[in-house]
Amino acid sequence: MAKYIYFFGEGKAEGNGKMKELLGGKGAGLAEMTNVGAPVPPGFTITTDVCNYFYKNNGKFPSGLEEEIKDNIQRLERAMGKRFGDSENPLLVSVRSGAKFSMPGMMDTVLNLGLNEKTIKGLIGKTNDERSAWDAYRRLIQMFGNVVMGIEKSKFEKLLDGKKRKKGIKFDHQLSVDDLKDLVVRFKEVYQKETGKNFPSDSLRQLKMAIDSVFKSWNNPRAVTYRRLNKIPEDLGTAVNAQAMVFGNMGNDSGTGVGFTRNPSTGEKKFYGEYLLNAQGEDVVAGVRTPERIENLKKEMPKIYQQLKEITTNLETHYRDTQDFEFTIENGKLFMLQTRTGKRTAFAAVKIAVDMAKEGLISKEEALMRMAPEQIDQLLHPILDPQAKIEVIAKGLPASPGAASGAVTFTAEEAVEKSKREPVVLVRSETCPDDIHGMDAAKGILTARGGMTSHAAVVARGMGKPCVAGCEAIQIFEEDKKIVVNGKSIKEGDWLTIDGGTGRVISGKVPTVKPSLSGDFDTFMKWADKTRKLGVRANADIPRDAKMAINFGAEGIGLCRTEHMFFAPDRLPIVQKMILADTEKERRKALDKLLPLQREDFLGLFREMKGYPVIIRTIDPPLHEFLPRREELMVEIALMKERGKPKAKIKKKETLLARVEQLHEMNPMLGHRGCRLGITYPEITEMQVRAIMEAACTLAKEGKTVLPEIMIPLVGHINEFKNQKAIAVKVAESVMKNYGVKIKYLVGTMIEIPRGAITADEIATEAEFFSFGTNDLTQMGFGFSRDDAGRFITDYLSKGILKSDPFQTIDQDGIGKLIEMGIKQGRKTRKDLEIGICGEHGGDPESVKFCHRVGMDYVSCSPFRVPIARLAAAQAVIEDKNK
């Protein structure tokens, strides 16, 4: 017969701290504390297996569980010398949830189970404290009614607040015995009215109903949301802990509190916590009274304080990590109710990890595993002032971390102009490449459409700017220059705040605080760099981004997108002339004007990189993206005609419209772009390679080391690459001859089309490096539009069709197999083939670990994600070693 319950008490437990999968974090912690001799009230844990059985069998429990509960209640009665439901010497129990991973406040708790009209008399007789007994009874009805039966808390709180107002008192503990007796009667009336049933008087029935409700709370909305946000698997289930009650509300020699062995905000090695005398556990966190700082306990109960400090210090040493603990003092006796690994800020996580390694409590490798790579975001971006009061009006996707406030603007041009006078937030239905200058000028970007790898998201991350994307709750009326959110109108110029780390959109201006990087962070990252094998480069298009990348520890540029340079106001007209040209001669004339500008761009990048490799991708997007939008031109021409504008100007616009019409494509992402443009217009590839090589040769003549790598995008066939490589090599050799220098350069390709991965062995006969463009590879492999998939991906995630968004984390079972195939095939042909990744996945920790496992040489990501990738790469090595 399966064992579903594990007992703990009387100095020994059937479980231990390693059984989190089965007993949950709380149950495993209680068992371990019991085994190491901490004063833990006895109890038992119902395993997570029961929770999973419960959900697989329509809310039914496995056979034999009821008898096992009764057997363990009897064990608990013997351990405590009390009887459950007894009118003379009653045993009371609490029921709490406890999953493998801590989910604070997400699931349910019920205290004081076992109280009824008979047992309360026994409790009064044993404790000689009538007030505490009636206080415990009213709390039971309130918690049971809310947690088990779903009665709104406010129904009870209204009566409680009304009683205090009538009596002219402020706090619960000031209520008299008669006040509490009256509240018990009135709470039962609320219970009966709301449920149509009397409050259950049978103690065992109370317990069973409470256990049932805690298992149900595994799937309450807040728990489901918390798991989704923290990537906790849905199938873990929660355990249920039933534990003998101890009372902190028995007078001024009793109390309750919570604490940490180190400060969870700063990481300082200092006893940290709060407590209340004459109170029960929920009073500390519910804010019904202002708790005391734990240092004050040293004055009020010095022996208890010393015992608590010794126990928790021993627990930290035992677990070798910061502990979050709960305790109760009953009539001058200390009881430990919980210990678990303490949650902490990113600042605290770094300090605690470094300090514990220096103290010899953990190794450097263990220190590196103590911090989730994603937490580093908190250290690099401005965050909202935690003390500020805010009004959240909508929520979108947390596309790029950080927080920003600014006046609302609706166009890139307005953003540039208005940013000269005040900070702005650029609000768009979705952004496109010609919004780049406005995005650069804005403090943050908010879009109504698009996903985590949409244009807005990718560019914002590259810039290190906050972005909330795909916020479908906002309606944008560009003509009226306003946004409407749930009936609230926000006009151009009104202030708005976005939190790119959470996706929140907040009304008005909210102050931010800038995190500071400490010496501990530098130490921590040096340990990571010594451990990792995977190189980390950055996606950077301009010298400013390159400098930032170097400061964050990048070892080169893995992707420079040359087309972003074309959108600068002084260059766009030249690019448009090149596109509108009817002959090659006219195109070359425009390209000749662009050449020195591009050369200067590359010179700046090479100087900042100081000898690190720089991968520069030739033009990728379709040409129509550099021209005005078709619909906008049509409207503009109609208005010009209506207003009688000069025919010559109208003719010029009509010529532009004709070219836009000519370039218009039904599916531009699969259209005339990437290497296909270079094949049709080889002069574009020639100009870009010439600019790259002239910049490199200029620095080489100055005696500086330069490592240019020319990347041809969107190659799906070996002959496409041969065509573009031939142009690149011819131009490169010519430039080196003219400058009288010889430098090492590579010509490689971006593997972003499934056929490119499948035929990688052929392509590697010519290509000297591969860089996997996982944004497009995912898009084409799944057949998902990355700009539109956000509308249904959430359904795929909530219904379990996908475990994670494939545009955020590499789909290792599908797209990952294409990548593995490409690496294996490519290196079969060319053993020294340099291989990396340059999609946004390069900054996703799970994807970085995948890149390590499949044998890539480096990952490349936006500058602000470089430290995240460095830590994830180190953790990949440690995880391999531990396996």
For residue 72, give the nearest of 212, 241, 200 by alpha carbon: 241
Contact in structure between 96 and 234 (CB atoms under 8 Å):
no
CA 77 to chain centroid, in Å, comes to 45
**DSSP one-letter string for 347-377:** HHHHHHHHHHHHTTSS-HHHHHHTS-GGGHH
668 three-class SS:
helix
Tokens of 768: 């000297």
Strands (E) located in 581-732: 613-617, 707-712
Half-sphere exposure of 649 (CA within 13 A, CB side): 10
Provide the angle, in degrees to the nearest 10, between the axes of the packed helices 866-882 and 845-853: 50
Provide the angle, in degrees to the nearest 10, between the axes of the packed helices 130-143 and 119-127: 140
Half-sphere exposure of 566 (CA within 13 A, CB side): 29
State the DSSP H helix or E strand holding residue 477, giving kind and residue range, or none if neither.
strand 474-477
| Amino acid identity at 411 | T
Rounded CA Rg of the chain: 33
Residue located via tokens 């008192």: 169
Tokens of 26: 């709380």
Measure the CA–CA gap between 14 and 812, rounded to whole angstroms.
39
Where in the sequence numbering do the catalytic residues fall?
455, 838
For residue 405, give the nearest of 514, 492, 516, 511 by alpha carbon: 511
Measure the CA–CA gap between 531 and 833, rounded to whole angstroms.
23
* Strands lying side by side in the sheet with 424-428: 392-395, 504-507, 495-499, 403-409, 424-428, 444-447, 467-469, 397-400
113 three-class SS:
strand
Measure the CA–CA gap between 528 and 356, rounded to whole angstroms.
16
H helices of 427-493, where? 436-441, 455-463
